[in-house]
Amino acid sequence: MDRIISMRVFVCAAADGSLSAAARHLGMSPAMAVKHVNALEARLGVKLFHRTTRQLSLTEAGSSYLEACQRILPEIDEAEAAAASQRIKASGLLRMNVPLSFGSRFVAPLIPEFSRRHPEMKVELGLSDAQLDLIAGSWDLAIRIGWLADSPLHARRLGDSAMHVCAAPAYLDRRGVPRQVAELIQHNCLSYTLSAMQDAKQWAFGPRGDIRVPISGDLIANNGDALLAAALGGQGILYQPDFIVGKAIQRGDLVALALDKPVVDLGGIHVLYPPDRRPPAKVRVMIDYLAEVFATALPILP
């Protein structure tokens, strides 16, 4: 039997002086009300009522238990109401885990407007390129860039981000412009260590990354902005998404290279959230806000 319902039956029966009246009050059969009280007495190992055919009265143990139930049940009701309100009203702390460069460039600037729309919410923005466990870390949602692994998490696509192979004009003037991916082995390639599509020894080309090309270079890093700074300084060739290098290419600080093999398909930008049939309002409004902004003014070069 549900212990909370049994407690409610007990409190109603004590107030009404009748199990039948308590049953009517709670919308159940008298027999079910009797089962609930019997279950409580069996669990506690004491009698809660003196019962006769005409009268129902509390035992000493029943009186003590009634005081406890009258204190506990309102607290449970309050807790349930507070939890239910989270699904209806956007309030409280929202914890978001976002890739470092993408988050600082494109998510952090969106927070002021979001906060104006939802003044009862607070946002914790966790910036990290590491693939942290959303549930174990108690994150409400995360943004992930790339192909998604199978998981119980729910996902909503926000947009795309193309890859570019590029370098500073000074580097290309000094070392020449590669035309084929096979020529990359002759160049200084700056690699991102957290990607399955590139490491210190090879880069992946082709839409699904099935073309593996050997490379070498004197810098590897776990952050795209660090590699961008090196490339802008003329250190080598970069293979990064356009949310990292797009503006630099647009300004002419980097030159996009046209090679003989297509770049890898990055797999898209997604917002992930725990599997919940009805996610809290704070999660829903942030997801809807991100989808709205990225759909109307995606801050990434085409």
- Tens of pLDDT, residue by residue over 173-232, are 999 999 999 999 999 999 998 888 888 899 999 988 899 999 999 999 999 999 999 999
**Rounded-to-10 torsion of CA 71, 77, 81, 82:** 40
Token pair 């947009």 in the structure block, residue: 159
Predicted local distance difference test score (pLDDT) of residue 85: 57
List the beta strands (DSSP E) in 70-207: 92-98, 121-127, 141-145, 154-159, 163-167, 189-192, 202-205
Alpha carbon distance 60, 66 (integer Å): 10
Q: What is the mean pLDDT of residues 238-245?
A: 92
Domains of the chain, CATH where assigned: 3-85 (1.10.10.10), 92-161+267-296 (3.40.190.10), 163-256 (3.40.190.10)
Alpha carbon distance 56, 182 (integer Å): 91
pTM value?
A: 0.64
Alpha carbon distance 265, 268 (integer Å): 8
Least confident of 150-154, 200-204, 257-261: 150-154
- Mean pLDDT comparison of 55-59, 104-108, 229-233, 275-279, highest-scoring range: 229-233
Q: What is the mean pLDDT of residues 80-103?
A: 80
Predicted local distance difference test score (pLDDT) of residue 90: 81
51: region left, alpha or beta (phi > 0 left; psi from -120 to 50 alpha): beta
pLDDT at 256 over 70: yes
Residue pair 57/33 in contact by the 8 Å Cβ criterion: no
pLDDT at 95 over 50: yes
Per-residue confidence at 142, pLDDT binned at 50, 70, 90?
very high
